[in-house]
Structures are given as C-alpha cells and as structure tokens.
Structure 1
Amino acid sequence: MGGFSTLSAPKPWRHHHKLSTISNQPATKNVPSLLFNPPPSRKPKPFYCFALDSSKTEAPPLVVVGSANADIYVEIERLPKEGETVSAKTGQTLAGGKGANQAVCGGKLDYPTYFVGQVGGDAHGKLIAEALEGGGVLLDHLSIVGDAPTGHAVVMLQTDGQNSIIIVGGANMASWPETLPPEDLEVVKNAGIVLLQREIPDSVNIQVAKTARSAGVPVILDAGGVDAPIPPELLKFIDILSPNETELGRLTNMPTESFEQISEAVGKCHKMGVKQVLVKLGAKGSVLFVEGEEPIRQAIISAPKVIDTTGAGDTFTAAFAVALVEGKSKKECLKFAAAAASLCVQVKGAIPSMPDRKAVLNLLQTH
C-alpha cells in the first residue's frame, strides 16, 4: 500500500438528530398517508484511515445533498412503435440517483455520511430509504414530501446495446422549501466535506454551497445531471468541479478528445473561477487539475472483467471525497478513488456495486 499513512485526525464533529418524517407542504394541504418512516437516527461508527493498523478516530461527516431515484430497468428487443405494446424480457427496480449513489458509497467505505434529499411517501421512497440505510447512510435529513412522487427513471435496455431513458424528476425537483431548514444547513456547516450533483434545483445547490463556504467547508460539485450551464453563482462557491470528459466539453463548448484539449477546456473552467477540476476519463483514468500546478494523472486499476459501468463515476467522486476529508494527499485520493471504481464495475447495478472499505484496502495492497 506504500504511501498510505495515517495522518492527524480532522476536527471533531457534532451529531445532529432530526427524523424527517415530514412534508414540506403547509398543513392545510391534503397530504397522503406515508407508506413508511425512515429508520431512527443512530450514532455513526468511527472510520478507519487507509493504514490497516490505524486506530479508530472520529471525523466530521461527509454530507451529500442531492437526488434519489428508483431506476426501473426493462430489457426489450426494440422500442415499441406508436400504439404498440411489447413484452420485456426482464424488469427490475433498483434504488439509484447520483446523490443516493454517492451517499451509499461514503457509507459503505465506513465513513460517517449524511444524505440530504427528498423522496415521496410511496413505495419507491421506501425502496430508497432501505437502500440508503443498508449502505450505512444516516437518514436524519431525508425528507418525505406529500405532493410529489419519488423521482424515478425508466431505463429501456435494447438487445442491440442501445439504451433509452425517461426521467421523472418528482421529489428531486419539486417541493424544495425556498429556504432549507436550519437543521439541514447546520449539518452542512459541521461537515468535513459537502458533495453536490446536478439532479436537484440549482437554487438548492447554491444555498448549500454558500452555507458551506461561509463555514469553511470544502464543496465538490459532480457535474453529472441536468444538461445546462452551471450558474456562475454556484461556481464561485465550488472548491472542486468534477466532470467527465463529455460533461467538460458541454460545459465549456470545447473539444475534449485529447489530453491537450482537456487541459485547454479546464483552463476555461479556471477562468470561470474554479481552481480545482477533477476530470473522470473512463478507461483512460482521471486527472486532477489544480490551477498553477502540474496536473496529477491517475491510471485506472484494471478490473479482471467489466460487468457494468453504472455508478462508477459516482463511486469515484465519493471515494475521492472520503479520502480527501480523511486528510490524504491528492495523489492518494486519486488512487483510492480508482480502486473503488475498479471494484464497482465488476458488479451489476449502481448501489449494489459500491465497494466496502476492506475490499478497497485489499486492492490497494496489490497496486
């Protein structure tokens, strides 16, 4: 494992208790009865540093603010024509959404992780709450809204390899309060690091990022999600922007085919006010660009067999965030994230493929 050493522990963190079995709607509205209650809050277990023989120590939590979806997968021969009904070979509904994926990754890496997000009071919301809890995520700040369904996506997998996806934003995009509750902002202020994506309204991300900046908490924005320009007001509160090469190209309107082109596109991000850009390059690895410094490149850690790349980017970003909040060097963070992503692609699905800390450490021992 080489240079993975135990560093001084981060500042202590405070645990906040909030059971969000509430609706964000006024009491005068007819709110349907909720099908489930989130499990009671519990004190997170302390985390282990990279070194296998390190002692346990408490740390400020990872706080993920973002989306939660029920992903409905159907495998079909071809898309139906207008007015036609076709049969699916298989069908499966799994918990997903970039926010929930990243939160579960943090939880499965044995790091104290909160998820701040919204689901509807329906069966899909129950599915997501159970998946989050099963991944070790603290649900004190998971809210249930009464007038919107849980966000979901229908993923149509065709036998020729083509995929078509229909997304219903649901509670991810609707019913957010104009001002987030004080309890949610407080957990952001006390975080070790905050992780955002773009599958919830920009206004929510801006509020969270601004609160984090005022408290000196670093913010990582995963650029995945809505295909729209990132508001300048959000960018100015972001410490690390993390796109893949396609997202980087869209955000900058520049080509990203070669390393030189990627570097030029990142230069445009620096001019937009983002000092650090973490670019995910799929099979070509990853690169961290820090303004004024030499880029740090990380090759992939090859998997014996790639089964499913779904969730690999979310795994990479969340694992990088965990390593960073634990005080590791940027090079160590990239390697830890590469190991986690390598394990992720060897298992089908997003949340089911998130690796645990022991598996990541074992892989790092051989690389």
Structure 2
Amino acid sequence: MSKNIIVIGSCNTDMVIKADRLPVPGETVMGGSFMMNPGGKGANQAVAAARLKGNVYFIAKTGNDLFGKRSIEQYEDEGIHVENIYSDPTLPSGVALIMVDVNGENSIAVASGANGSLSPEDIRKAQPVIEKGDILLMQLEIPIETVEYAAQIASEQGIKVILNPAPARALSNKLLQNLYMIIPNETEAEILSGIKVTDWESARKAADIISAKGVDIVVITMGSKGALIKENNAYHEVSVPKVKAVDTTAAGDTFCGSLCVALSEDMNVLDAVKFANKCASITVTRMGAQSALPYRKEIDVL
C-alpha cells in the first residue's frame, strides 16, 4: 500500500529574471528574460514528491487572491491532496523575486504574506490528516512555532519527521529531538553546528555535532560534491551525477521531495539519497522551480 507523505510549508509565486549576471546594490542589469512560476519551498517539495509518484498531502496557507487560487489548481493538477490548504482573508499569497545568472547562481527575496500566518491552530485542524502520514516533511518558510508544534504531534505518533532547515536559522534542541532526519546544505549545517562545511571531513564534523543534539539521521547536501549521510555511527559520501547546471533554484527542494518518496517506498537511507541526487541533477539542467522538477518516468530511464 502506498505510504502517505505529508508536506507542511510555504507556497509562493516566483517571478524570475535570468540575466548575464546578478546586479550589485544600486545597479540595474538590462537584457534579462522573465518568467512567472509557482514556487515556495513547501510547494516545490510537495510537487517534487507528487511527480515522482508519492502520495502527497500539502498543508499550507495562501491569500484569498488570484495567485493563491491558481496555486491550488496547479497542486490539484499534480495529484496533490489540497483539502488542508487554508486561505487567509487579509494577507496576500507569498511572492518570491528571483534573479538567476548565466552560471545558474541565484539571488532571492521573499515576501511571505499568508505563509507567515500558518499557525499551530491550523495544524490542529489538520491533525487527522497528519496522523495518517508515514513521513512529515517541513521547511522554515513558515513560523517556527508551527514547525515545532507539527514536529511534536507527528513524532508522538511515530511518524518520521524530516526537516529541511531552510532558510538557515538556529533551531531549538527540542525541535531537533523530534526529528527523524535533517537535511541542511553547507550554510545551514554551519549555523547548526558552528563548523564551516567545505569538504567531506568538515561535513562529518558538522554532522557529528548536529546528530549529538538528538537527530537520528543527518544528510548534508553539498551542491556539485554530492551529499554526506550520518546514520547512527556510519558515514556515506554520495557523489552526484555531473551535469551542466543552468538554474540551481529548486535543486534542494527536488532532493528533499524525492528523498521522501524513496523512503516511502522502503528504500534504505543510502539508496534514497542516491535516488534524490539523481533527481536533483536533472532539475538543475532546467530553468525555474516547479517547472524544472522531474517526473518519475525521467528517472526510471536513467
């Protein structure tokens, strides 16, 4: 029977400009191309999991506006369960402004809007759905008290709670102790551990410090180097397929969503990370956030 993946997080509309280079403060860079896509880390991860054949329930908050209504329609088209996407009567839907240069590096500013009002009370309303879950995936573009509350109720039910701690910030030990797995990138791992992550050795040291705070499994994503896993006292260095990156915006979100799908199919953590690396390597070869996320049939032929 298919396992249920619950995603709690943000949904935004991404407005993307691709230009030769990112502007410095006070500078205007001309000649870019523009596109508008659905985005937000929560939504990206939910869509990534759904396209890879995960059974996904998305809990989020939009504004009562065109962006919010269009987003929900798009999630339904992806096969995501949307019954617990709530509408804020006063705040607008979240928006992200994204600049991308020719090397695929990006600079992002986010107006959170209704994402910032997804509350513990909303989570209480969604608790029957959460308790049907096998895996709960969250990020940090919603209020931290909401993340902490959801992690606690899910952990108490024996649900595997997975956190992608992005955007980077310090986290309480109480939250960390309710996690089954944490998936930081190098920057986020440094904030959580105090260790600057530059190579496999420093990644191991950072993973040791993070796991000592109570997380069962630490997976540090390291861009083109791949990912380091610390599971119990074992370490794995997992390389990533070599590709030409054009846009790294959704790489981390693809990784997180696809990792959850692999775990929901009873893959072990090492095989799940290999699968996630493969999926993320496809995403970075395409422009955009959700528009770049791969489908299962693309992975299965690799």
TM-score by length of 2: 0.91
| Consecutive unaligned residues in structure 2, runs of 5 or more | none
For residues 232 and 25 of structure 2, what CA distance do their matches in structure 1 show? 49
**What residue identity is the alignment partner of 1:296?**
H
* Alignment partner of 1:331 is 2:270: yes
* Alignment partner of 1:125 is 2:64: no
For residues 159 and 240 of structure 1, what CA distance do their matches in structure 2 show? 34
For residues 298 and 219 of structure 1, what CA distance do their matches in structure 2 show? 22
Helix, strand or coil at the partner of 1:295: strand
Residues 209, 161 of structure 1: CA spacing in aligned structure 2 closer, same or farther, 3 A cutoff? closer
Please say if residues 62 and 112 of structure 1, whose CA atoms lie closer than 8 Å, have aligned partners that are also in contact.
yes
Offset at residue 355 of structure 1 (A): 1.1
For residues 105 and 267 of structure 2, what CA distance do their matches in structure 1 show? 40
Helix, strand or coil at the partner of 1:180: helix
Helix, strand or coil at the partner of 1:235: helix
Helix, strand or coil at the partner of 1:113: strand
For residues 100 and 259 of structure 2, what CA distance do their matches in structure 1 show? 30
Q: Which residue of 1 aligns with 2:155?
A: 213
Q: Which residue of 2 aligns with 1:301?
A: 241
Offset at residue 278 of structure 1 (A): 0.7
**What residue identity is the alignment partner of 1:253?**
G
Q: Which residue of 2 aligns with 1:250?
A: 191
Please list the CA deviations of residues 263-308 of structure 1 after superposition, one character each: whole Å capped at 9, or x if unmatched: 111111122111210111111111210122x2122211233x3222
**What residue identity is the alignment partner of 1:155?**
I
**What residue identity is the alignment partner of 1:271?**
A
Residues 79, 156 of structure 1: CA spacing in aligned structure 2 closer, same or farther, 3 A cutoff? farther
Offset at residue 262 of structure 1 (A): 1.2
Residues 86, 327 of structure 1: CA spacing in aligned structure 2 closer, same or farther, 3 A cutoff? closer
**What residue identity is the alignment partner of 1:199?**
E
* Alignment partner of 1:142 is 2:85: yes
Please say if residues 6 and 136 of structure 2, whose CA atoms lie closer than 8 Å, have aligned partners that are also in contact.
yes
For residues 137 and 265 of structure 1, what CA distance do their matches in structure 2 show? 35
**What residue identity is the alignment partner of 1:99?**
G
For residues 231 and 196 of structure 1, what CA distance do their matches in structure 2 show? 15
For residues 191 and 250 of structure 2, what CA distance do their matches in structure 1 show? 20
Q: Which residue of 2 aligns with 1:289?
A: 230
Q: Which residue of 2 aligns with 1:109?
A: 52
Q: How does 1:311-330 map to 2 (within 5 A)?
A: 311-330=250-269
Offset at residue 127 of structure 1 (A): 3.2
For residues 112 and 65 of structure 1, what CA distance do their matches in structure 2 show? 14
Helix, strand or coil at the partner of 2:230: strand
For residues 271 and 263 of structure 2, what CA distance do their matches in structure 1 show? 9
| Consecutive unaligned residues in structure 1, runs of 5 or more | 1-57
Q: Which residue of 1 aligns with 2:288?
A: 349
Offset at residue 71 of structure 1 (A): 1.2
Residues 143, 258 of structure 1: CA spacing in aligned structure 2 closer, same or farther, 3 A cutoff? same
For residues 84 and 150 of structure 2, what CA distance do their matches in structure 1 show? 13
Helix, strand or coil at the partner of 2:126: helix
Offset at residue 352 of structure 1 (A): 1.0
For residues 158 and 302 of structure 1, what CA distance do their matches in structure 2 show? 20
For residues 131 and 103 of structure 2, what CA distance do their matches in structure 1 show? 48
Q: Which residue of 2 aligns with 1:180?
A: 122
For residues 89 and 330 of structure 1, what CA distance do their matches in structure 2 show? 41
| Structure exhibiting the larger radius of gyration computed from Cα positions | 1
For residues 100 and 249 of structure 2, what CA distance do their matches in structure 1 show? 13
For residues 135 and 104 of structure 2, what CA distance do their matches in structure 1 show? 38
For residues 109 and 194 of structure 1, what CA distance do their matches in structure 2 show? 17
Offset at residue 311 of structure 1 (A): 0.6
For residues 105 and 295 of structure 2, what CA distance do their matches in structure 1 show? 31
Please say if residues 16 and 288 of structure 2, whose CA atoms lie closer than 8 Å, have aligned partners that are also in contact.
no
Q: Which residue of 2 aligns with 1:33?
A: none
Offset at residue 70 of structure 1 (A): 1.0
For residues 103 and 285 of structure 1, what CA distance do their matches in structure 2 show? 22
**What residue identity is the alignment partner of 1:263?**
R
For residues 86 and 290 of structure 1, what CA distance do their matches in structure 2 show? 45
Q: Which residue of 2 aligns with 1:100?
A: 43
**What residue identity is the alignment partner of 2:135?**
I
Please say if residues 106 and 247 of structure 2, whose CA atoms lie closer than 8 Å, have aligned partners that are also in contact.
no
For residues 101 and 295 of structure 2, what CA distance do their matches in structure 1 show? 31
**What residue identity is the alignment partner of 2:205?**
E
Q: Which residue of 1 aligns with 2:177?
A: 236
Which of 192, 195, 208 is the matching residue for 2:137? 195
**What residue identity is the alignment partner of 2:246?**
I
CA RMSD of aligned residues (A): 2.2
Please list the CA deviations of residues 183-224 of structure 1 after superposition, one character each: whole Å capped at 9, or x if unmatched: 411111110101010111111111111111111110110011
Please say if residues 200 and 237 of structure 2, whose CA atoms lie closer than 8 Å, have aligned partners that are also in contact.
no
Percent identical across equivalent pairs?
Answer: 31
**What residue identity is the alignment partner of 2:278?**
A
> 246-255 or 215-224, which moves further after superposition?
246-255
**What residue identity is the alignment partner of 1:267?**
D
